[in-house]
Amino acid sequence: MNHCTAAAATVIGRAATSAATVMELLDTGNLVLRDGSGRTVWRSFDYPTDTLLPTQAFTRGKRLVSRFATGAFRSGYYSLYFDNDNVLRLIYDGSDISSIYWPDPDNTVFQNGRTDYNSTRLAVLDRTAGSTPATDSASPPPTPAR
């Protein structure tokens, strides 16, 4: 990848093209890059931006950040992430004020229907109900029945 200015061109990164040979869009929406041996070397699901697809795991250390506006591809004011107490939070972080938008910060974790025992910090959007179940196990939580 090159970054060009009027004065000069600067190389800011280089793709290892000899090993990366196949890019595949899976039915789940996950864009996967595989090397010459078929091993997965990169997945879009590991790097969420402003969209979470059904069945995409959302884990500790990941953050969804809203877009500023339609057509404006810069970060907006809302972020979804796991906090230090393992609770999934949606915050508003505006230029003048920052506050927890969800769950209600005046309630306890349990009053909000969340648990701080979710030590894996794993959540998966349910494709049918639009809910976000969380689990303490290492595998994704089961999808609720319709």
**Confidence grade of residue 117 (pLDDT, cut at 50, 70, 90):** low
E strands present in the chain = 2-4, 9-11, 20-25, 31-35, 40-43, 57-59, 63-69, 72-82, 88-93, 98-102, 122-124, 134-135
Q: Where are the domains of the chain?
A: 19-47, 49-146
Tell which residue, 38, 132, 9, 23, has the closest CA to residue 80.
132
Q: What is the pLDDT of residue 53?
A: 86
Residue 44 DSSP SS3:
helix
Whole-model pTM: value is: 0.60
> Average pLDDT in the 101-113 region?
80
| CATH fold group of domain 49-146 | Agglutinin, subunit A (2.90.10)
User: How far is 29 from 45, CA to CA, in rounded Å?
Assistant: 8
> Average pLDDT in the 74-92 region?
86
User: How far is 34 from 49, CA to CA, in rounded Å?
Assistant: 21
- Mean predicted lDDT score pLDDT of the chain: 75
